[in-house]
Amino acid sequence: RKARAAAHTTNGFLEIADLRFTRGEDHLRIWHLPRARFFDQSFCALCGSVMPRHDRGRMVEVIPIGSLDSDPGRQADDHVYVGSRASWYDFADHLARYDEMPP
């Protein structure tokens, strides 16, 4: 939460082999958060925008949906890592909720 300055993030997931940058990949920088189990901070060195990152434990690309320039073509499926959400935050929808990443 502190790294994103928000109660949660909105991410999509892709197989690592399926992610393709059309430009600017050479500007990608990664900061490893020492206390985080899976989370790294990936950003553009030119503008600071949050960028896709490799997940260290699950072999997927985590795509911050807010970083996309166009509609991803689908709606949210569920909420993951609800078990570690901020105690003051509750969800206002009826999507499935998982304490961790679902299988």
Phi and psi at residue 83, to the nearest 5° = -65, -20
pLDDT digits (tens, 9 = 90+) for 35-53: 777 677 889 999 998 899 8
Q: Percentage of the chain with pLDDT > 90? A: 17
User: What residue ranges define each of the domains in the chain, with the CATH number in brackets?
Assistant: 11-97 (2.170.150)
Average pLDDT, the chain: 84
pTM: 0.71
Work out the pLDDT band at 97, boundaries 50, 70, 90: very high
pLDDT tens digit string along 56-84? 677 888 888 888 888 888 888 898 888 88
Query: Which residue is it, tokens 């958060």?
Result: 33
- 12's CB contacts (< 8 A; 6+ apart) are 62, 63, 65, 72
